[in-house]
Amino acid sequence: MASSCRRPEHKAPPDVVSVAVYSGFYSRMIEIQTQMSERAVELLNLPEGQPCFLLDVGCGSGLSGDYLSEEGHYWVGVDISTAMLDVALDREVEGDLLVGDMGQGMPFRPGTFDGCISISALQWLCNADKRSHSPPKRLYTFFSTLYSSLSRGSRAVFQLYPENSEQLELITTQAMRAGFGGGMVVDYPNSTKAKKSVPIRSWAFILTLTDNMKGKSVKKGRDWIFEKKERRRRQGREVRADTKYTGRQRRPHF
C-alpha cells in the first residue's frame, strides 16, 4: 500500500508533478525516454524510409519528439502542463505543440495522423484529480477521439506503468469500446526470472492498438453493420443515414 502512495499520479495532478520529476531526473530521463520512444516507434510498424505525421500524447518537454525528428518524422505534441511545453519551446523542438487534457479528447480532424505514441502518460487517466473526473469516461473520450484522428489501419503505442491488473483491464476495455484492437506486451531487457524480482518501474508495459475492423471476418448481423457504420463516421468517412431497413435481411429474388 505504501509503495502505491509514492506513485507520481497519487501526489498531484500531472501538470504539477511533471515539472518536479523533470527537474529532478533530467539526465536519467533523456536515456529512458529515448529508449521507450525507440521501442514505441518500432511497434508502430511504419513504412520504412517514409516520413510520417505522428501524434505524441503527453509529450512533456519534447524528449520523445526529439527521437521522432531524428527518424525523419513530423509530429504534434499534446501535454496538459504549460510549464513542460515551455521547456520544449526553450529547447526549440521541431514539432508543433498543443496544450490539452487527454481526458477531454483529441481535437484533430479525422484521419490526421499516421500513428500515435505516448510515453508514461496513459495511466494518469485512471486517476480522478477532480470530483467531476470519471476514469472510464475520460479514457473512452480519449480513445474514441484518438481513433477518429488516426488514418485507417494505423497504430497507437502506449508505454505505461500500470498500478495493478484492474487498471490494465480498465484501459483495454475502454480502448476496445472505442474501436481499437490489439494487445499488451511486457518489455524487459534481461530474463523473465530477473523481471519478477525488480520494481515495476524497471520494465515497461506497452499497449499496441490497431483498427479493430482490420482483419476481422465478415459478419452480416444488424449490430455489426451499425457498429461498422459508426466507426466509419468517427474516421470521417461518408456513411449513409440509418433507416428501419438498415441491416434487414432481404428476400432472395428468383
Per-residue pLDDT reduced to its tens digit, 184-215: 777 754 434 434 433 333 345 678 878 765 44
Which residues are within 8 A (CB) of 103 and not within 5 positions of it... i.e. 6 or more apart?
125, 133, 138, 139, 141, 142
Measured between alpha carbons, how far is 228 from 184 in angstroms, rounded to an integer?
Answer: 24
Measured between alpha carbons, how far is 130 from 80 in angstroms, rounded to an integer?
Answer: 15
First to last CA, the chain: 70
Q: Would you list the domain boundaries of the chain?
A: 2-46+99-234
Rg (the chain; Cα; Å): 20
User: For 173-187, b where at least 16 C-beta lie within 10 A, e where not — what string?
Assistant: ebbeebbbebeeeee
> In this structure, what C-alpha cell is assigned to residue 226?
451499425
Q: In the prediction, which pLDDT does 200 show?
A: 37
Question: pLDDT: is 165 or 52 the higher one?
Answer: 52
Fold of 2-46+99-234: Rossmann fold (3.40.50)
Using one digit for the tens of pLDDT, what is the confidence trace for 129-175?
Answer: 777 789 999 999 999 999 999 998 899 999 988 888 888 899 999 99
Range name among 21-35, 40-54, 114-128, 213-227 with the lowest pLDDT average: 213-227
| pTM of the predicted protein model | 0.71
